[in-house]
Amino acid sequence: MANPSTTKNEPVAAKAPAQPITVMSVLAPAIGWLIPGAGHLIQKRWIRGLLLMSSIVIMFVIGLLLEGHVYQPNGGDILDILGFVGDVGAGGLYILSQAMNWGHTAISHATADYGTKYLIVAGLLNFISVADAYHIAIGKKP
């Protein structure tokens, strides 16, 4: 006779308990997105926060100085939409560039295309930084 407690459909391991939602677990990613590295700084990870902030901000600024293109939300083309998703990761830097009308020149030389890639990657790196700030806030990472 089969034991009813060991059926095949039953999960082997119990589910891990969900992480409690704390103020810091919401605030750190939000602040970290808006100001790169600030998600670490408000959790007193000073060196990590400053390194992340300087890396992402300098990368974004170099992208602008290389006359890179900042994508708009209503690009239409799928590649433009992907570019926008990358750019918007930079948070406050993207908002500032839109407000100041930066990065809207036509790409006219090879290094300007590098500038566009710098801008996108700065945003993508900030997404990673935001995820890291969240992991610190929930105690998953020291």
Partner 1 sequence: MTLSHFSAALLFSVFASVVFGITQRNNTRDQIRYGLYCFAMFVGGVIVAGWVMWILRR
**Among residues 43, 97, 116, 129, the one that binds partner 1 under rule CB under 8 A:** 129
Residue 109 amino acid letter: H
- Asked whether the beta carbons of 123 and 87 are under 8 A apart, the reply is yes
Residue 18 amino acid letter: A
If binding is defined by CB under 8 A, does position 102 make contact with partner 1? no
Residue 59 amino acid letter: M
If binding is defined by CB under 8 A, does position 43 make contact with partner 1? no
- Asked whether the beta carbons of 138 and 39 are under 8 A apart, the reply is no
If binding is defined by CB under 8 A, does position 55 make contact with partner 1? yes
**Among residues 48, 89, 120, 137, the one that binds partner 1 under rule CB under 8 A:** 48
**Among residues 16, 125, 137, 138, the one that binds partner 1 under rule CB under 8 A:** 125
Q: How many angstroms separate the CA atoms of 73 and 30, rounded? A: 20
Q: Which stretch binds partner 1 (CB under 8 A): 9-17, 26-34, 47-55, 82-90?
A: 47-55
